[in-house]
Structure 1
Amino acid sequence: MSTMKFCRECNNILYPKEDKEQKILLYACRNCDHQEAADNFIVYRNQIHHSVADRTRVLQDVAADPTLPRTKAVKCIQCNHGEAVFFQATARGEEGMTLFFVCCNPSCAHRWKD
């Protein structure tokens, strides 16, 4: 995890800086001339956490997407509707691509994988 670093001389924030000649990452103070070599090369990390409700809403919106392919060859096991949208994605905890289906019935929006 990336943490903030502070100058040992004046306690201001150290900013990442590239030493192009030596090709190393430094942390440098903008107030004084203090510099130190980076021990961790992660400058910034943006972690996005989605709630379960956000993921469900996205999958329900998938059925209304006109750019996704539709099929009438499968029936929803929950409402018996005869049309579904399908797409391929990597399932969590599995290797390779998985075929996902989403029921096109707006009151159902059941999702399953093949």
Structure 2
Amino acid sequence: MATPQSTASQDNAPGKSKKLEQITFRFCSECSNMLYPKEDEDAHKLQFTCRTCQYTEDAQTTCVFRNILNTSAGETAGVTQDVGSDPTVSDDLSPVVCLCCGIVIPCLLPRSNKACPACSHEEAVFFQSQQRSAETGMKLFYVCCECGHIFT
């Protein structure tokens, strides 16, 4: 999940991690409506302006929004533990037939009788995923249909 934060740090001491201060909404001192970011095109400065009464003040910092991602993409690249029970990849579906050519379109992940190391269940869906760079090969991942454990 992302959180809006400013780039202004509260503690720049060496050896300490920077703590980012939260971005806050600004309000008009004349009519109490919210101020919106706007560029002063002549001075090329960031300002906050009221859309109701045109009150304007200079911004204290140039940061309006900072998007910090709290998770990084791992080697399974967003595959969730629920993939084994996803009805769109289940073999319980009736086959989908192309209306143009009549060919059956498979709508399921392949399944294997590989035992799960977490719960010993004997059914898992599997998929291949490219590793971090193009020089490395594809890696096979299994997702247990019982407990959702992802293993190789």
Q: What is the TM-score when the length of structure 2 is the normalising length?
A: 0.43
Runs of 4+ residues deviating >4 angstroms: 43-48, 96-100
**DSSP-derived class of the 2:33 partner:** coil
Q: Quick one: which amino acid aligns to residue 5 of structure 1? A: R
Q: Unaligned 5+ residue runs, structure 2?
A: 1-21, 71-79, 90-106, 134-138
Distance between the aligned counterparts of 1:79 and 1:16, measured in 2? 57
Matched-pair contact (CA < 8 Å) for 1:88–1:100: yes
Query: Which structure features the higher share of helix residues?
Result: 1
* 1:33 matched to 2:54: yes
Q: Quick one: which amino acid aligns to residue 55 of structure 2? A: H
Answer with 1 or 2: which has the greater Rg: 2
1:63-98 CA-to-partner distances (Å, cap 9, x unmatched) read: 235367536384322234143234659xxxxxx599
* 1:5 matched to 2:43: no
Matched-pair contact (CA < 8 Å) for 1:71–1:86: no
1:24-45 CA-to-partner distances (Å, cap 9, x unmatched) read: 3221012333212222522486
Identity level (%): 28
Q: Unaligned 5+ residue runs, structure 1?
A: 49-57, 90-95
Gap change, CA 1:83 and 1:30, over 3 Å in 2: closer
* 1:72 matched to 2:112: yes
**DSSP-derived class of the 1:101 partner:** strand
**DSSP-derived class of the 1:15 partner:** strand
1:16-59 CA-to-partner distances (Å, cap 9, x unmatched) read: 223344443221012333212222522486999xxxxxxxxx52
Matches within 5 A, 1:59-98: 59-60=81-82, 62-63=83-84, 64=86, 65-66=88-89, 70=110, 72=112, 74-77=114-117, 78-86=119-127, 88=129
2:39 aligned partner:
18
Q: What is the TM-score when the length of structure 1 is the normalising length?
A: 0.52
